[in-house]
Structure formats: structure tokens, C-alpha cells
Amino acid sequence: MASPTPVKEVDVRNLTDKMHQRALFARGYLLTSHELDAGGEFPFFGNWTRTKVGAWNLYTHCFTKHYCLNANGAHIVLIGHAYNPFSRIVDESSLLEDAAAALEKSEKAFYSVVSEWSGRFVVIVLRDKEMLAVQDCAGMRTLFYGYIHGVPYLASHAQLLSDVCDLETTPWISDLVESREYKVGIRFLPGDVSPFSEVKRLGPNTSLKYCEPTFKVERFYPSASLPYGNNEDDQAARVTKIAELLRASLEIISEKWNSPAISLTGGLTAKRHLRLA
């Protein structure tokens, strides 16, 4: 049996090929109150754009889509893509208007509106130096955060924050990823940890709040015991509603993109819709 070909390590700091440079942290984002140099050097390689959002700076990769709305003193940012199978609204700007109207009523109303959305996204509300952020229901659009060297950061990749802020990998994380057991199955770090002690990951169905100099995570679902159908009629009604929403999602996807690719998520979207039905 032939020996496996050894993997050649690449020093990404010295990438020269433009295609490989664009692939680094592709579709990424970084939000901070600090102003960074997003020029032609590592890790940005000139492929990122800065957008001033109130007192914050949003840096996005050239493949990253984002939408901004200024409403009643709050800046609401949607990074990624989203649609609402309940109302069949497919335009992200319209979704942000719905979120802004709900936020005027209460945070609870805001969470209820965003919970109807499907897609892969992060929604961030910015008021001066305060911030509120939530993800899609499965956390597919990752959000890492940390208060590093006296500055708040949000980013799509923990490694991006490490490269920007010159962080060192936590020793026990190095031991973990080198262990035999870690190499079996899905290679994800447990809970909200990242490879760096200064950085944590936000989980689904939780909100991230920042008020200088503190980040705070709060669970907004479930907020109480969940009611379940006690008879066949209730269960049948739920199944019918879920089927309607999944059908609407497939129809929206086929209309929203010219060449869509649908990933079978194992029911992650259905779980969010189940609780809303």
C-alpha cells in the first residue's frame, strides 16, 4: 500500500497568487470600533472594503454581501442572505425594515421577526457604542467576538481576529486538536470556545450584547417551557404547517438565485419553523 502524499504547508502570509489571496477568509466580515488598514498586505490583500456604520467600522470581503438600514437612531446591518418563508419576502432590505419596525416595539418583537427568517446571516444592531447581534437559527453564519487590547471585535473567523490582533493559541486547545480522539468525527471545538482565550463563539438562539467594555450573551429561545401537541390533530396541523414553510422555502430559493444549490440540513430550518408554527 502506497504511503499517503505528505501535505505541503503553505505560508498564507506570503501568498502571491491573486486567486489564493481572494480565497483567504472568503465571505468574511469584521466589525470593530477600531480603524484597521485593509490594504494589500496580509490578511486582507486588498480584497476587503471598509464601511463606516455609525461609530463602528465594518470590513467585508469582496464576496460578502451586506445590507444596512439607518432607522430611528439605530443602524441595522444584515451580513449574508435571508428570506422569510412566512411572508415570502425575499429582499434583504425589506426584511431589515420589518426588523427595525419590530425593534421600535421591543427586543422580544425583534427576535420574533428575525426568527421567521431562513438563510445564512448575522443581524447586528448598532447604537453609538452599544451593539446587539443575532445569527440565523443554526449559527451557519459564524460570529466570533472578543474584547481585545481594549477594543471590541466581531468577526466571521477566529483566525482572522488572531491575525489582526496577534493572538496566541491556548495551550490546551493545541493539545486537544493534536489528540487522536479529536481526529474522529466532526472536528469542532466544544461549546463557545475558540482556539484563542480572548475570543469566543456565539451559539444559535442566543443574542450578543456589547456595552463598553463588556460582552453579554443571553438566550432568547426557548424562554419558557415549550407546548407540544397532545393529540393527533395538533400534530397533523404542525406537520402541515412545516410542509408549507419548507415548500415556500424551496420556491423562494429557486426564484431568488439563478443557479441555487440546496443543502439538506437535517431539519435545522424545520426546527426553527416548528416552534413558530
Q: 51 and 145: one domain?
A: yes
- Angle of CA points 80, 81, 84, to nearest 5°: 145
164 assigned to some structural domain: yes
Q: 117 and 180: one domain?
A: yes
What torsion do the CA atoms of 156, 137, 109, 211 make, to the nearest 10 degrees? Answer: -30
- Give, rounded to a whole angstrom, the gap between the first and last alpha carbons of the chain: 55
- This prediction has a pTM of 0.89
E runs forming strands in the chain: 29-32, 48-53, 56-61, 66-71, 74-83, 118-127, 130-135, 144-148, 151-155, 200-201, 206-211, 214-219
pLDDT digits (tens, 9 = 90+) for 145-199: 999 999 999 999 999 999 999 999 999 999 999 998 888 877 789 899 999 999 9
**Phi, psi torsion values for 273, nearest 5 degrees:** -70, -30
Q: 189 and 253: one domain?
A: no
21 assigned to some structural domain: yes
Q: 202 and 260: one domain?
A: no
pLDDT digits (tens, 9 = 90+) for 206-261: 999 999 999 999 999 887 777 766 778 788 888 899 999 999 998 999 899 988 87
CA distance 43 to 272: 36
- Residue 245 belongs to what domain range? 232-276
pLDDT digits (tens, 9 = 90+) for 9-53: 778 898 999 999 999 999 999 999 999 999 999 999 999 999 999
Instruction: Answer for the pair 169, 136: CB distance below 8 angstroms, yes or no.
Output: no
Structural domains counted in the chain: 2
